[in-house]
């Protein structure tokens, strides 16, 4: 039987990788991918807890996180497209004026 | 047997996740994130969360990541970019912070490591156990109906928002 | 899980792989024959009796073609893309039941004529069909060719749009059957009334089938939805640059997707392997299943050679403004019927 803390440890490792990615990358799309990675890391710990303690709430939370992630991807990518149209670049450091 | 499976999947997940941040081309990053998502889906199966595992593939790998690929291809972003750009200091600072974060997480988990927790799926093996489609559907439409409905409104807002943002002037 | 069970899975999967590959070879032949009948021609008739060895000749020709990788292509993705499109197509088949339990005299044991039965069978199929799009998109991108890229982009947009209608029509079936397990769904369609027990003849599901079938044609990139590879405008879309066995792999993936979509339609709507006397002679189930699938494939071919291709904006308008609302209305109708007249499953 796999101990619960293995899942939680894996989840924290993945979350850290995602967080480091947000720090060191400057490409808007890659940063977005790292955010998805962090969401997934949290999902793993939620599902693990839910399955180990027999409470369905955690899995429903994951379900809702996924739908929110889908909505977020749609809006986020639309923002990225319009930034790219205006600046011909995806570097987040260059998008530093709060207007077009 | 189970532990070997877990370790293989965990190594896969961490390897592909590291690849996401060490690739220069965002397309490769996106592809390796698909690998992470797939191995997480397999991990959900080892936790007997079949519904979430299937939804993970359908929603994440099948829809969200296709959208990412679509945008990456459409924008045709410059192919090579350095792994760590511009803010070198921030990049070097990230490593100790990451180390601290992992150390903290494992310090907390150490207290959990000694406890023996029998997983619920080892006890309840009926076809209405936690994680089956029935259990997810039942709770979703009874106890958690309000969050579900609110999510649908959120998605509608996201659709409208994406349309407004991505539209060209004058369309 | 004993070694015997594992061995059984491996053997069954190998047999399915073999049958599917042979079926694909002969489907290309059948397609050409049907096309020539519809167009009042003769079709291939030179190799072997009635041209029956034509697929073999085609195969040999394809193997000996030069395998070209364009200089500017992304080699790694270019090579892996055909495999990515073929593997999910093959994997779908393991949950489809193509017969009930038979007794095999040589092994002296009962063998179920399906690789495995999952309690998330339908979701599994849905997950795999949603992965199929990657092969096309990556092939289009990796070829580094404008026609290929356009084909890849079109296919990703088309697949995502039609997957919604596809998934929602499956939801209607799910509402009616109350299970995701395909073997159980087939079992529910047997009964005293024979053909009338099929889901196709149940009141709400008849309309669902029409939406499902149109959406599945679009998922398989069949004419009139073959915009990703439209020969006359995009040369050949995402597989313009491919030759030799890599091209064959795309073709195989396409035909296997057609077979799979037809098999799922047969399982969900036309009673799967159920037919007269199948309870007494379980092996007959295989024959019935194959015949039903063949009829649906012939229907797809008939549609292909009758209808012209959509324009791209027509395709998107049809998917979003007609098919998706139709699927949602179907869900409402099915839910109403199930609420007031709950289905009695045998």
With 60 as the cut, is the pLDDT of residue C1 above it? Answer: no
Q: Give the integer Cα–Cα distance in Å for A2 and B10.
A: 12
Closest by Cα among C283, C243, C265, C239 to C105: C283
CB contact under 8 A, B136 and A56: yes
| C65 token code pair | 């073609």
Distance from CA of C294 to the nearest CA of B (A): 29
CA distances from B25 to A35, B66, C188 (A): 17, 16, 51
CB contact under 8 A, C141 and B27: yes
Neighbour tally for C255: CB within 10 Å:
22
CB contact under 8 A, B132 and C119: yes
CA distances from C5 to B22, B126, C106, C124 (A): 42, 22, 16, 21
Question: Nearest-CA residue of chain C relative to B71?
Answer: C153
The model's pTM is 0.86
| C116 token code pair | 């495995």
Residue ranges of B 93-132 with Cβ closer than 8 A to chain C: 127, 132
With 80 as the cut, is the pLDDT of residue C136 above it? Answer: yes
Q: Of the candidates C130, C140, C180, which has its C-beta nearest B57's C-beta?
A: C130
Average pLDDT over residues C214-232: 76
Cβ–Cβ < 8 Å for B30, A30: no
The confidence band for A62, taking pLDDT boundaries of 50, 70 and 90, is very high
**pLDDT tens, position by position, C107-128:** 677 777 777 777 888 888 888 8
pLDDT at B48: 86
Q: Give the integer Cα–Cα distance in Å for C339 and C337.
A: 5
When comparing pLDDT for C71 and B17, which is higher?
B17
Q: Give the integer Cα–Cα distance in Å for C249 and C194.
A: 39
pLDDT at C252: 85
Q: Give the integer Cα–Cα distance in Å for A22 and B21.
A: 9
Distance from CA of B162 to the nearest CA of C (A): 16
Distance of CA C282 to the CA centre of its chain: 24
CB contact under 8 A, B131 and A91: no
Tell me, what's the ipTM?
0.87
Report CA Rg, chain A. 17
Cβ–Cβ < 8 Å for C29, C54: yes
CB contact under 8 A, B127 and C119: yes
CB contact under 8 A, A17 and B46: no
| B149 token code pair | 């409905």
Cβ–Cβ < 8 Å for C276, C194: yes
CB-based burial, C18-54: b 16+ in 10 Å, e otherwise: eebeebbbebbbbbbbbeeeeeeeebbeeeeeebeeb
Q: What angle do CA C25, C130, B8 make, to 5 degrees?
A: 95
Looking at chain C, the whole-number percentage of residues with pLDDT higher than 90 is: 1
With 90 as the cut, is the pLDDT of residue C216 above it? Answer: no
**pLDDT tens, position by position, C254-263:** 888 889 888 8
Q: Give the integer Cα–Cα distance in Å for B7 and B19.
A: 18
Q: Mutate one of A11, A25, A84, A92 to test the B interface: name it (highest B CB count within 10 A).
A: A25
Chain B residue numbers touching A32 (CB-CB < 8 A) = 68
Mean pLDDT (chain C, rounded): 82
| Residue partners of C78: CB distance under 8 A and separation at least 6 | C69, C70, C139, C142, C143, C241
Question: Nearest-CA residue of chain B relative to C132?
Answer: B62
- Ranges of residues in chain B with a pLDDT under 70 are 77-91, 169-171
Chain B residue numbers touching C161 (CB-CB < 8 A) = none
The confidence band for A99, taking pLDDT boundaries of 50, 70 and 90, is low
With 80 as the cut, is the pLDDT of residue C23 above it? Answer: yes
| C340 token code pair | 């007031």
Residue C160 touches chain B, beta carbons under 8 Å: yes
pLDDT at B90: 67
**pLDDT tens, position by position, C74-83:** 778 888 888 8
The confidence band for A52, taking pLDDT boundaries of 50, 70 and 90, is confident
Chain B residue numbers touching A27 (CB-CB < 8 A) = 26, 77, 81
Closest by Cα among B55, B53, B56 to B44: B53
pLDDT at B81: 55
Q: Give the integer Cα–Cα distance in Å for A73 and C114.
A: 38
The confidence band for C152, taking pLDDT boundaries of 50, 70 and 90, is confident
């Amino acid at each position: 039987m796999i101990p619960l803390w293995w899942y939680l440890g894996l989840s924290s490792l993945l979350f850290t990788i995602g967080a480091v990615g947000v720090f060191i990358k400057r490409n808007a799309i890659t940063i977005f991918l790292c955010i998805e990675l962090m969401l997934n890391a949290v999902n793993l710990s939620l599902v693990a807890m839910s399955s180990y303690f027999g409470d369905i709430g955690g899995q429903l939370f994951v379900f809702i996180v996924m739908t929110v992630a889908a909505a977020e991807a749609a809006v986020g990518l639309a923002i990225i497209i319009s930034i790219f149209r205006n600046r011909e670049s995806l570097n987040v450091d260059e998008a530093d004026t709060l207007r077009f | 047997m189970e532990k070997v499976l877990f370790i293989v999947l965990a190594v896969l997940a961490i390897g592909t996740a590291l690849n996401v941040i060490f690739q220069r081309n965002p397309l490769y990053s996106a592809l390796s994130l698909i690998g992470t998502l797939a191995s997480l889906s397999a991990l959900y199966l080892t936790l007997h969360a079949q519904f979430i595992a299937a939804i993970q593939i359908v929603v994440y790998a099948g829809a969200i990541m296709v959208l990412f690929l679509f945008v990456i291809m459409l924008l045709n972003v410059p192919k090579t970019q350095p792994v760590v750009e511009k803010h070198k200091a921030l990049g070097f600072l990230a490593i100790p912070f990451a180390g601290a974060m992992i150390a903290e997480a494992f310090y907390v988990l150490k207290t959990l490591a000694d406890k023996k927790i029998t997983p619920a799926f080892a006890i309840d093996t009926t076809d209405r156990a936690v994680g089956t489609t029935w259990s997810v559907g039942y709770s979703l439409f009874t106890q958690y109906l309000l969050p579900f409905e609110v999510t649908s409104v959120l998605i509608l807002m996201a659709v409208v928002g994406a349309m407004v943002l991505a539209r060209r002037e004058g369309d | 899980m004993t070694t015997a069970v594992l061995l059984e899975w491996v053997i069954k999967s190998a047999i399915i792989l073999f049958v599917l590959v042979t079926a694909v070879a002969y489907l290309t032949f059948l397609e050409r024959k049907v096309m020539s009948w519809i167009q009042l021609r003769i079709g291939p008739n030179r190799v072997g009796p009635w041209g029956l060895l034509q697929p073999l000749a085609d195969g040999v020709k394809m193997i000996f073609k030069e395998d070209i990788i364009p200089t500017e292509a992304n080699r790694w993705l270019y090579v892996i893309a055909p495999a990515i499109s073929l593997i999910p197509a093959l994997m779908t088949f393991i949950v489809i039941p193509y017969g009930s339990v038979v007794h095999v005299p040589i092994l002296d044991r009962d063998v179920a004529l399906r690789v495995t039965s999952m309690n998330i069978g339908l979701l599994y199929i849905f997950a795999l069909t949603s992965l199929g799009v990657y092969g096309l998109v990556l092939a289009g991108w990796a070829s580094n060719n404008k026609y290929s890229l356009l084909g890849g982009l079109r296919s990703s947009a088309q697949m995502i749009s039609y997957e919604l209608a596809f998934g929602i029509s499956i939801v209607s079936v799910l509402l009616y059957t109350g299970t995701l397990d395909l073997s159980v769904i087939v079992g529910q369609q047997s009964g005293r009334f024979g053909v009338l027990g099929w889901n196709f003849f149940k009141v709400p599901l008849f309309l669902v089938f029409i939406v499902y079938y149109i959406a599945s044609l679009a998922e398989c990139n069949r004419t009139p939805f073959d915009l990703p590879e439209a020969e006359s405008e995009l040369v050949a879309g995402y597989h313009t640059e491919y030759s030799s066995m890599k091209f064959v792999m795309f073709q195989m993936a396409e035909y296997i997707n057609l077979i799979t979509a037809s098999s799922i339609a047969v399982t969900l709507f036309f009673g799967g392997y159920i037919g007269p006397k199948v309870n007494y002679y379980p092996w007959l189930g295989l024959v019935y299943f194959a015949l039903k699938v063949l009829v649906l494939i012939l229907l797809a071919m008939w549609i292909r050679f009758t209808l012209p291709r959509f324009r791209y904006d027509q395709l998107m308008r049809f998917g979003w403004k007609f098919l998706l609302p139709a699927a949602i209305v179907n869900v409402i109708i099915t839910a109403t019927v199930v609420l007031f007249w709950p289905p009695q499953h045998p």
